[in-house]
Amino acid sequence: MSKIKPAKGAPYARILGVGGYRPTRVVPNEVILETIDSSDEWIRSRSGIQTRHWANDQETVTAMSVEASGKALADAGIGAERIGAVVVSTVSHFKQTPAVATEIADKLGTNKAAAFDISAGCAGFGYGLTLAKGMIVEGSAEYVLVIGVERLSDLTDLEDRATAFLFGDGAGAVVVGPSDVPAIGPTVWGSEGDKSETIKQTVAWTDYRDGTVEKFPAITQEGQAVFRWAVFEMAKVAKEALDVAGVSPEELDVFIPHQANERIIDSMVKTLKLPESVTVARDVRTTGNTSAASIPLAMERLLATGEAKSGDTALVIGFGAGLVYAATVVTLP
């Protein structure tokens, strides 16, 4: 017989607060057109993107995360000293070690919170949310801060016609805490590593260091392959997330997919047969694709504008490099 005592965590977990930070510089499509042969009409028709935000030297991964986290903590009414863990999803923090989460936890004033980074691309927020839920229910933390943050402008090849217009910078954060009722559904997640070449870093850092290549590494993708996968396969994952949560499309209030491309969003809405009453996040139009930050940033904007409200039932799904994905149904804070 095991001598280990059962966990004394909360029965359930929920999102208690959300915050976002967008860099001050707004970059219209006209700037992108200085380095690629395209047009504003083409970019808008293919992606829905009109503008994106690019960080300046002071708007580091840490600085943006601290700003977004401070807003999330204020929104939740929770002091930083009560945070038991900080989970940061990013692919654009260029120090392999230490984890940027440790610096963020310290700057926020947490009381020696557990802190670590995860690399799950555009699904990173969903991965972090799932880990946070587990910590709270298991009892290893009462409150967890989940951050998605990217400076993808550092990994953008401005001469790559397929990707130059896609990426933006920013940070989104949520505070996850205990709940007496289910407010974060089961996560449907996974990976398809056989498709990892469809979204990837162009070359390894060591190739750049050793002079094998002269061009700094960037993110590249096979646009059509990614589009087909996202539209057909991720709609199935989204439907499964609704099913395991016991929520029908008619009961859904809000849909917050990864803000990769508005055409993908429209196709998923159609495939899922979502009612017109469902509010659909379209933050991609003015924020671009911010990878791990896109879902919390879109969530924060919907709540701030009143397009969504506290207590709404929302389906969130992230998908991207790996290829990885994560979908769940949540109650909005």
DSSP-derived 3-state class of residue 44: helix
Nearest partner of 205 among 91, 53, 62, judged by Cα: 91
Distance CA(222)–CA(152), nearest Å, equals 17
Tokens for 47? 């992606």
For residue 64, give both structure tokens.
């943006």
Residue type, 79: G
CA neighbor of 14 nearest in space, from 89, 78, 105: 78
In angstroms, the CA 333 to CA 313 distance is 10
Half-sphere CA count of 258, side-chain side, radius 13 A:
34
- Residue given tokens 């809405």 in the structure block: 269
Q: Which is nearest to 300 in space by CA: 311, 289, 308?
A: 308
For 245, phi then psi, to 5°, come to -85, -10
Query: What is the layout of strands, in order, in the sheet containing 12-21?
Result: 12-21, 169-179, 143-151, 83-89, 114-118
| HSE-CB of 166 using CA atoms within 13 angstroms | 27
Mapped onto helix, strand or coil, the DSSP state of residue 269 is: helix
For residue 41, give every residue at least 6 positions away whose Cβ sits within 8 Å of its Cβ, in sequence order, or none: none
Contact 91, 40 (CB under 8 A): no
Q: Give the active site residues.
A: 122, 258, 289
